[in-house]
Amino acid sequence: MGAEVVEMTTMMHIKARLVPWDDPDFVRAFELAREATEQSDCCPDGPRAAERVQHLLREGGYPRARIEVRQTVEEALEHVSHWSVFRDG
């Protein structure tokens, strides 16, 4: 059986799928990194925001964290993206 996942939508129009979803510390670390990125006005969504969140996760104790971003042209125009967030690379 594959790793369990959960999907969530954040305030900045990001649909995130976390692997594993049942690690509350990892989920909270993602939420904090996402909030910090959102509040920084660095980048609202998409690859630049994912890069920053990934960096914050790695600094925060998840050195193998990896984020993959999927986004159609329409989603890019609407500032929506889909992230797969992996704790263990």
Tens digit of each residue's pLDDT (9 = 90 or more) over 29-61: 999 999 999 888 777 678 899 999 999 999 999
| Lookup result for tokens 């999907």 | 7
In a domain, 38, yes or no: yes
In a domain, 82, yes or no: yes
In a domain, 12, yes or no: yes
**C-alpha distance across the termini of the chain, in Å:** 18
Per-residue pLDDT of 56-79, as tens digits, reads: 999 999 999 999 999 889 988 888
In a domain, 78, yes or no: yes
Contact 5, 19 (CB under 8 A): yes
- 0.85 exceeded by the pTM? no
Q: How many domains is the chain partitioned into structurally?
A: 1
Range of the domain at 24: 6-86
In a domain, 69, yes or no: yes
* Token output for 43: 């980048």
Q: Residue 24 above 90 pLDDT?
A: yes
